[in-house]
Structure 1
Amino acid sequence: MGESEIVGTPAGDARITWRPASGRARAVLALGHGAGGGVDAPDLRALAAALPPAGVTVALVEQPWRVAGKRIAPAPKTLDTAWRGLWPALQERGLPIVAGGRSAGARVACRTARELGAGAVLALSFPLHPPGRPEKSRAEELLGAGVPVLVVQGGSDPFGRPEEFPDGAYELIAVDAADHGLAVPKRAALTRQEALGVVVAGVRTWITALV
């Protein structure tokens, strides 16, 4: 499972579970979770298993509200405060840090990347807009990250399908037929494992080229 540590932040205690790189580590990938789940999301688990053999230490970050057992995420500014507060614990390894996360965690990573000195951002299932409300775009957060960004987006994500994303200086991997959790229906051409394989392969290629 890896080694876990509790990290105090101004928003409460966060938890980091470390999955150390096999052999010489080249970077840390910090992965935050979404507003509706934790670090046990299938895509986060798959990356935590697949990237250490490629020389990437994965840090699975649980926000204080999850550590405290609450069911509802706080306001975005509180999520950002916690992320800033735990950042020094990520820096202690002395490695370049890629900030990442899924959904709300991806937004946090984008909003804070430049100020914290992240080398890049991995945005899994970036919630471009609330379902059915494309006019409420959050593209500014994505486009304003100020560092290299990789978006991994499901082809049927109600929070923003790949074709809805604006032009910009980022890369995007589309996972055919996948929803916001990057799960695919049984009738899809890809199985769930194949869809996760697309995610893992794309992220591994991108991050190893960066570091």
Structure 2
Amino acid sequence: MPGEPFTATSADLPAVRGFLHRPPSPSPDGLVLTHGAGGNAGAPLLVDLATAFAASRMTVLRCDLPFRQAGLLLLSYPLHPPGRPGDLRTAHLPKLRGRIVFIHGTTDPFGSPEEIEAARALITAPTTLILTDGGHDLGYRKPRRDLIERIVAACASWRAPV
């Protein structure tokens, strides 16, 4: 698995364990990638994204603990349980700050493209939506360079000016 093992500890906070992906040359830009519910930092999509972001000159920490960030990359955000569109998980969305990129499958049972658009309208922060053919797995059963490149490009605005 690419990336070097990484652990950060603090007397007051839980340890953060994950993998650090370094760019070919030093960069002031950084990204923390975490998984969604039921996943872990070893998910193939996260591994490939971390590798691609590092190749584009960004230091990446791929880990199992969420952090505050300047941007949110929401992979297959579960708007509601499958088949229960009335049980929306959107109450917190108006409170989100920073730039937000949604990556969503066109046949995701956790929310249709139209439902994702309605959820985005609740957010005052800048948002981007990338739709991809697939369900909750984003159709990522094998590496898809095109999808990885679209995601990295959509998140480029998070970087500090050099």
> Which residue identity does 1:206 align to in structure 2?
A
Kindly report which structure 2 residues correspond to 1:51-62, keeping only aligned pairs within 5 A, or say none: 51-62=53-64
Instruction: Let me know the Cα RMSD of the aligned residues.
Output: 2.3
2:75 corresponds in structure 1 to 124
1:202 corresponds in structure 2 to 150
Aligned-residue sequence identity (percent) comes to 29
Which of 132, 135, 154 matches 2:105?
Answer: 154
The Cα offsets for residues 9-64 of structure 1, whole Å up to 9 and x where unpaired, read as 7675431210012213242111111222211212111101111121111111124x
1:180 corresponds in structure 2 to 136
Query: 1 or 2 for the larger relative contact order (CA 8 Å, sep ≥6)?
Result: 2
In structure 2, the CA distance between the partners of 1:150 and 1:143, relative to structure 1 (3 Å rule), is farther
Aligned residue pairs, count: 151
Question: TM-score if structure 1 supplies the norm length?
Answer: 0.63
Kindly report which structure 2 residues correspond to 1:43-192, keeping only aligned pairs within 5 A, or say none: 43-63=45-65, 83=66, 87=67, 116=68, 118-165=69-116, 166=118, 167=121, 168=123, 169-176=126-133, 178-183=134-139, 192=142
Deviation at 1:173, TM superposition (A): 0.2
Deviation at 1:123, TM superposition (A): 0.8
> Which residue identity does 1:2 align to in structure 2?
G
1:3 corresponds in structure 2 to 4
Once residues 7 and 157 of structure 2 are traced to their aligned partners in structure 1, the CA distance between those partners, rounded to angstroms, is 31
Structure 2 alignment gaps of length 5 or more: none
Question: TM-score if structure 2 supplies the norm length?
Answer: 0.79
Q: Is the 8 A contact 2:33 2:50 kept in 1?
A: no
> Which residue identity does 2:158 align to in structure 1?
L
The Cα offsets for residues 105-127 of structure 1, whole Å up to 9 and x where unpaired, read as xxxxxxxxxxx4x2211111111
Structure 1 alignment gaps of length 5 or more: 64-82, 88-115, 185-190
Q: Is the 8 A contact 1:152 1:199 kept in 2?
A: no
Q: Is the 8 A contact 2:132 2:139 kept in 1?
A: no
Once residues 24 and 5 of structure 1 are traced to their aligned partners in structure 2, the CA distance between those partners, rounded to angstroms, is 17
Q: Secondary structure at the match of 2:62?
A: strand
> Which residue identity does 2:135 align to in structure 1?
D
